[in-house]
Amino acid sequence: MRTAVKRFAGHRALSCEIRHLRRLSSRGDCPVRRVQATAHIRARELPYKDRPPAPRWYHQETTVVGAFFSGQDFEIEGAMGDARSTSTTSSGAKRKRAAPVYYAVKLGHEPGIYYSWEDAKRQTAAFKNPILKKCNTLAEAEEFMKSGSYSPARPGKSKYYGVQVGHRPGVYTDWPSVLQQVTGYKGGKQKKFDTWEEAQAYVNEAKGATPSDSGAAISLKGHLESTLSVGATIKAPKKQKKNDGSALAAITNGDFEPGTGPLPPGAEDGFDRTLKLDLATGAVQYKTYAELSALKMQPTGEFEGPLKICTDGATKGNGKIGAYAGLGVWFGPNDPRNIAEPLTGEKQTNQRAELTAIARALDIAPINRSAIIYTDSHYSLKCLTVWFQKWEQNDWKNSAGKPVENKDLIEPILARIRERELSKATTKIIWIKAHNGHEGNEGADALANQGATQRQAQQQMKARAGHSEIDVEPHAVDKPGMGKAHAFAEYGAQEGQAQINGIFGYLPGDADV
């Protein structure tokens, strides 16, 4: 029985958390059956014109119900006032429940209050100066989280790194993050300061000269971190009386993505379309079937055809023992749903990276919305559209009579596709030639490489730190500045198709649909 309590910084963060749980599920670590949580939505004023973030938080309690997965064994439940996630792994209930202790993690991968030191340590791995506190009562932990103080656990040692030129300029509080922003960026500039204000001023020096849209993208990770360490978010989400879409839009676009402008028309907002926020009660609920159908019947405006997602995997040193892999999922230029993350697990191969990328794409694709997944991996496409049929009948043996590799990844993806079918959402997989000028493929490729680099950094840190046995949990990171904002182009020349009972696979040479 593994348990964890988390505090979510806003609706979007909660949405992210649900995704995170799905990701766990996709890894097979802890299959998700049901996701449900109560969120403490919190916001405060944005840092405006060099002004540090306001210390005052606005609060709102809400309950969110996430997706439902079949054949799994994991759930999250929440109670009023704090969001509590309870996970039950298949091997669960082995450890004894100790006296209740709380770990408030203010500067870490995912700030929040955790029940176990294991969980808290995981969140602070790779952070040189994590801000966290061990508390005996929940109230104490909450107080610590709320406090405007930025002093770290060991006062007097805090540092602020201003990244003036880098992938994502801004203020960072740990050196690894700075490295990540600066490495691989031509002419990267960073400087250490003792106060947030100084660092921010340093960052702003260059901001005037930078085009506003260039530095606009804020990564999910950056957001989460900045919520506590740098300061972000603004506009108190005043309680709304009416359940009109504009209110939700105001929260999603304006409030929780500082620096990012309104979404372009037709772009996805990253929220699960099966959910709705009841603004009268503050609760998030499943939309009724009628509501979903209504949306499907009125695709103008909100929906524009199937969701198109590009996936890719990258594995440095593929086949070698020290290989490190990453995966990328690309929805569009600067799309906040874009993810670049390392491949977890021991087996770091290109095929696993490619498959996992598809799995992550299906995590994010709304369960009831048709999706087209673009991959350059013949292997992945064939696995998910052709070969699996034979494998499901011959006990997963390949043509050589040996066990099929990566079954652990393929099966959950198939389950997800079938689940989507039940929601009347088709899932098409289309093959595209790699490195052929395809915008989405190149975007996904860059994201995947970014993810692989993250993995490399992780492993190196682990090695230096004397090999902690805990696998650092990855986080979604946007690709900064993927250039032009135009959406998917036509792909006709480089793709084809092949349909297999509800799942579509597309390869060049097949007839057009």
3 state DSSP class of 223: helix
Least distance to DNA, CB of residue 397, Å:
8
Least distance to RNA, CB of residue 499, Å:
19
- Residue carrying the six token digits 């808290």: 120
Nearest to DNA of 38, 377 (CB atom): 377
110 binds, among DNA, RNA, none (CB under 5 to 8 A by kind): none
Q: From the list 9, 83, 314, 476, which residue makes contact with RNA (rule: CB under 7 A)?
A: 314
Q: From the list 142, 272, 335, 354, which residue makes contact with RNA (rule: CB under 7 A)?
A: 354
319 touching RNA, by CB under 7 A: yes
The sheet carrying 160-165 orders its strands as 170-172, 160-165, 189-193
Residue 5 one-letter amino acid: V
- 3-state DSSP helix/strand/coil % of the chain, to nearest 5: 30, 20, 45
313 touching RNA, by CB under 7 A: yes
363 touching RNA, by CB under 7 A: no
Nearest to RNA of 125, 457 (CB atom): 457
- The total of other beta-carbon atoms located within 10 Å of residue 513's CB is 10
H or E element that contains 64: strand 58-68
What is the distance between the alpha carbons of residues 37 and 258, in angstroms, rounded to a whole number?
25
What is the distance between the alpha carbons of residues 303 and 505, in angstroms, rounded to a whole number?
23
- The angle that helices 407-422 and 350-364 make with each other, rounded to 10 degrees, is 20
What is the distance between the alpha carbons of residues 83 and 41, in angstroms, rounded to a whole number?
10
Q: Give the pair of three-digit tokens for residue 275.
A: 């959910």
- Any bridge partners for residue 373, and if so which? 309, 429
Q: Three-state SS across 349-380?
A: CHHHHHHHHHHHHHHHCCCCCCEEEEECCHHH
Nearest to RNA of 119, 312 (CB atom): 312
Of 231-239, 256-264, 309-317, 416-424, the window that binds RNA (rule: CB under 7 A) is 309-317
Nearest to DNA of 228, 359 (CB atom): 359
Q: From the list 51, 56, 378, 424, which residue makes contact with RNA (rule: CB under 7 A)?
A: 378
H or E element that contains 294: helix 289-297
- The rounded Cα 487 to chain-centroid distance in angstroms is 21
125 touching RNA, by CB under 7 A: no
- Binding site residues, DNA, CB under 7 A: 184, 186, 318-319, 347, 349-352, 377-379, 382-383, 387, 390-391, 398-400, 402, 404-406
184 binds, among RNA, DNA, none (CB under 5 to 8 A by kind): DNA
Nearest to RNA of 400, 511 (CB atom): 400
- Binding mask of the shown chain, residues 421 to 460, with x at each position contacting RNA by CB under 7 A: ----------x-xxx---------x---x--x--------
94 binds, among DNA, RNA, none (CB under 5 to 8 A by kind): none
Least distance to DNA, CB of residue 407, Å:
8
Sites of contact with RNA (CB under 7 A): 312-320, 323, 350, 354, 376-379, 401, 431, 433-435, 445, 449, 452
